[in-house]
Amino acid sequence: MLLAQSAVADIYRYVDAKGHTHFTDHPLKGNYKLKSVIRQPKSTASIEATKTFKKNRKRYSSMITAAAQDLNLRPELLHAVVLAESAYDPRAKSRAGAVGLMQLMPGTAQRYGVSKRGRWDPEQNLKAGARYLRDLLKEFKFDLSLALAAYNAGENAVKKYGNSIPPYPETQRYVRKVLSYYNQSLASSS
């Protein structure tokens, strides 16, 4: 019989200079305030998922760094996208049909020369997703928020709304999430 363990997490809140609120489980540089303490049972499944996440992050880290460097992107940015898209699970599949570490849609994969089967290959998936992100950055004049919105909702959605983040809650959450992961990664690497 397995017993559930208790997990305790401190949640810190930070409001940046632009008025954006960030939450994290560990304070970074800045004026973070302890917001709350969360206690909940930690199941055996969540313990196993955490181990798998850490193993996959380590396994694909050098591949992510190489893909980023090949395209003159920051590795922290690709890590943030991979974390938001698949949590480093190369077998992740969305309801919309996106697959792999960077959640490539069939049309995007085809556009970058990746076969249907190749979408599941971590290296091909990462390289194509990184190229797509780089192309979106160029298309939207290196506005990271717009490039991320386009990565999530498609470049036509961003254009439809006058080169702004579309009013889709999922896309708005996605952009905030990736930027938060990216900023946390940059802060911890400096």
Q: Which residues are catalytic?
A: 85
What is the C-alpha to C-alpha distance for residues 57 and 47, in angstroms, rounded to an integer?
Answer: 15
- Secondary structure letter of residue 111 according to DSSP: H
Half-sphere exposure of 86 (CA within 13 A, CB side): 27
If you ran DSSP here, which 8-state letter would residue 2 be given? P
Contact between 108 and 133 under an 8 Å Cβ cutoff? The reply is no
- Rounded CA-CA distance 142/137 in Å is 4
* C-alpha span between 4 and 106 (Å, rounded): 40
Q: Give the type of residue at 190.
A: S
